[in-house]
Amino acid sequence: MIQIYHNPRCSKSRQGLAIVEASGQTFEVIKYLDNPPSTTEMEGLLTKLNMAPEALIRKGEAIWKEQFKGKDLDHSALVDALCTHPKLIERPIVVNGDKAVVGRPPEAINDVL
């Protein structure tokens, strides 16, 4: 089943959700700010995205600048930051089977539908 990691307050995430809805496929909405991914789930997402954790971090967020910017963080510390502070996760993320994509731009979601 298709999953979308969604933040309703984000316009790109809302655009991504509209693309998934328009596909006519069954999907699950995961409001990751309310239910942050576990470390295991985040590692699985990164594998499906074929991304390093740093590439998934929203570096413009205040929490990144205040707590993490300029620090030498290893893979597990970055994954922990994403799980502990889900606001740092780039969005939306759409997962379909063993593939996933960050919907930036939203049209990229079509690659996994």
What domains lie within the chain, and their CATH numbers?
2-111 (3.40.30.10)
Buried b (16+ CB within 10 A) or exposed e, 71-83: eebeeeebbebbb
Q: Single out the residue of 47, 45, 26, 27 nearest to residue 83, CA to CA.
A: 45
pLDDT score of 20: 98
- The residue-averaged pLDDT of 85-102 equals 98
9-56 pLDDT, tens digit each: 999 999 999 999 999 999 999 999 999 999 999 999 999 999 999 999
For residue 72, give the H/E element and its range. none
Phi and psi dihedrals of 17, rounded to 5?
-60, -40
Phi, psi values for residue 25, rounded to 5°: -90, 155
DSSP classification of residue 57: B
User: Of 3, 5, 8, 10, which residue is the catalytic one?
Assistant: 10
Which tokens hold the place of 68? Answer: 């993490």
Residue 93: helix, strand or coil by DSSP? strand
Distance, CA of 14 to CA of 1 (rounded, Å): 19
Mind listing the pLDDT tens digit for each residue in 48-90? 999 999 999 999 999 999 999 999 999 999 999 999 999 999 9
pTM assigned to the model:
0.95
Q: Kindly give the pairing relationship between strand 93-96 and strand 99-102.
A: antiparallel
83 part of the active site: no
